Structure 1
């Protein structure tokens, strides 16, 4: 698809202006088109998303046709919580990577979805067709996937605008405290600390000031149950940074049990396959019907067994 546009208004930053004036193309997609040299401004290749437009500027936008997926569908069983012709919500199991990456070339959720849905080609990125958000490999629970490009962009906008609500259950070391009332143990609070890539260990994220590329990250928490030296907590995302809940809870001295990256406390004597973190509830507005959809996924057996063990130890 090739488009020619003339800026007739006051103008704006080029990525913002184009995302407002081209239907069904997100701002993130526009930025990638700029990086690929597919946007021409006044007969010259635009090199930055921060280019300021003025009235009279001439733009040419080249949108490549979707690449044919080279991924091979795999008949991997899926726990489908909700599905229609526009979207599907899955209860992801522990150990399943969401999309292909180095070291995880097959067996991912994407491979399973390609077999289940058959029509995801061209939705979003080539290696992440239909993927709106992600869950870490060993985090279980609800994840939504779009079946059309319109729904994909609509759901991503809902996430950016904080319309989508994502709630998690976790079992953590210790008891979280409200940082503003550190002397008093309270049952709920908010963690508002920026997160960025760890400066030394690039596999990890860390609480990082904005001047070192930390991005705003907000997590709401509520203690559901105290279990001796541990707690079961409800976490609600205000933003969606990589490893956000895991980083925030660890930074406050209460890492999630079984977390291989952010927990240094290995005193617990139960074998866990990964962090005890479960995406319990997902709420969104259906992009086509405008109805509210609220889906809940029960925690996996390993999580419930851990909870029963801790309750038993607490009462003994």
Structure 2
């Protein structure tokens, strides 16, 4: 299934709410030197140039609340939709002590005039996209039951949009992987389990994950692609692992990208125990196309966005779409890619 609308929207019970696309254009500035006016181009812009990259590791509580309140896209029929910034944990304590969504949930709920709002779903820390809330606990319980029932009938579908370094070999397909978790360099990482037992499946130490994907656009010269991914079920870092297994890395993936290495110009997948988490290393041409220094590359947010959610339910099918973040849109422009119309 492909997203084909130029306008971004939220649709609830047959009603669409549209959002206009953001664009920007370069400009020139003048400078005075020894009495002579000289046209000087502005420094080349990258995604950190007023494109909405939020450093959630270094943001105050009040500022985070304001960002989330301002991200409200839809409110009605007992539901609320917000847009989560990349890098924001949903819950739990982080190593650097940054705030999570649940840490500020009460204040955000007050800010959107829904003091009893309950969280239904949100993408994991590194991923941006759909935050779905219910106005109150009763609505939340009903929606959660609808989601459980719909899941049993394959009636819940989640679409993610990813920008990859590398182009999948096939334009579309599906992947079935068995995965588990390993402690690598003090990080709990997801790894592919090629050798597993039935007992490990029973214990759920190993889980079966499936993803369907389609390449929406690609740039052969820069070796990058815009792809949509449809995971069957959610599992920690599943899409990053699926991407590396296709010898691609999601742009801004500082956890798994080192698993894909180049040997004599050919990408190969290496042992995850030898691929410690660390700043993503981008090819020179791609980095120059994005006007990035090494330090900026290390701060690149993950270009993986929870874009659409479909839920079939008795009260009416639910279809939610949240637009790509501005920095994601800017990255597409810099790399000569665009969402198909």
TM-score relative to the length of structure 2: 0.58
Q: 1:53 corresponds to which residue?
A: none
Q: 2:192 corresponds to which residue?
A: 207
Alignment of 1:119 onto 2:116: yes
More strand, by proportion = 2
Correspondent of 2:236 among 228, 239, 242: 242
Alignment of 1:83 onto 2:75: yes
- Distance in structure 2 (CA, Å) of the matches to 1:291 and 1:105: 41
Relative to structure 1, is the Cα distance of residues 88 and 100 closer, same or farther in structure 2, using a 3 angstrom cutoff? farther
Q: Extract unaligned runs of 5+ from structure 2.
A: 1-60, 259-279
Aligned positions, number: 222
Structure with bigger RCO (C-alpha 8 Å, 6+ apart) = 2
Relative to structure 1, is the Cα distance of residues 244 and 91 closer, same or farther in structure 2, using a 3 angstrom cutoff? same
- Does the aligned pair in 2 maintain the 1:132–1:156 contact within 8 Å? no
Alignment of 1:145 onto 2:133: yes
- Does the aligned pair in 1 maintain the 2:84–2:122 contact within 8 Å? no
Alignment of 1:155 onto 2:147: yes
Relative to structure 1, is the Cα distance of residues 162 and 106 closer, same or farther in structure 2, using a 3 angstrom cutoff? farther
Q: 1:190 corresponds to which residue?
A: 174
Relative to structure 1, is the Cα distance of residues 101 and 285 closer, same or farther in structure 2, using a 3 angstrom cutoff? farther
Q: Which moved more, 1:236-245 or 1:77-86?
A: 77-86
- Distance in structure 2 (CA, Å) of the matches to 1:284 and 1:112: 27
Q: 1:95 corresponds to which residue?
A: 87
Relative to structure 1, is the Cα distance of residues 159 and 273 closer, same or farther in structure 2, using a 3 angstrom cutoff? farther
Q: 1:291 aligns to what SS in structure 2?
A: coil
Alignment of 1:107 onto 2:99: yes
RMSD: 2.7
Relative to structure 1, is the Cα distance of residues 92 and 252 closer, same or farther in structure 2, using a 3 angstrom cutoff? same
- Does the aligned pair in 1 maintain the 2:83–2:131 contact within 8 Å? yes
TM-score relative to the length of structure 1: 0.62
> Where does 1:1-316 land on structure 2 (aligned, <5 Å)?
75-76=65-66, 77-78=68-69, 79-84=71-76, 86-103=78-95, 107-115=99-107, 116=109, 117-120=114-117, 130-146=118-134, 147-148=136-137, 149-159=141-151, 161-177=153-169, 186-198=170-182, 200-201=184-185, 202-209=187-194, 210-211=196-197, 212=200, 213-228=205-220, 229-264=223-258, 266-268=281-283, 269=287, 270=292, 271=297, 273-285=300-312, 290-311=315-336
- Distance in structure 1 (CA, Å) of the matches to 2:256 and 2:191: 9
- Does the aligned pair in 2 maintain the 1:86–1:151 contact within 8 Å? no
Q: 2:270 corresponds to which residue?
A: none
Shift of residue 103, structure 1, vs aligned partner: 3.7
Shift of residue 142, structure 1, vs aligned partner: 1.3
Q: Extract unaligned runs of 5+ from structure 1.
A: 1-71, 121-129, 178-185
Relative to structure 1, is the Cα distance of residues 230 and 281 closer, same or farther in structure 2, using a 3 angstrom cutoff? same
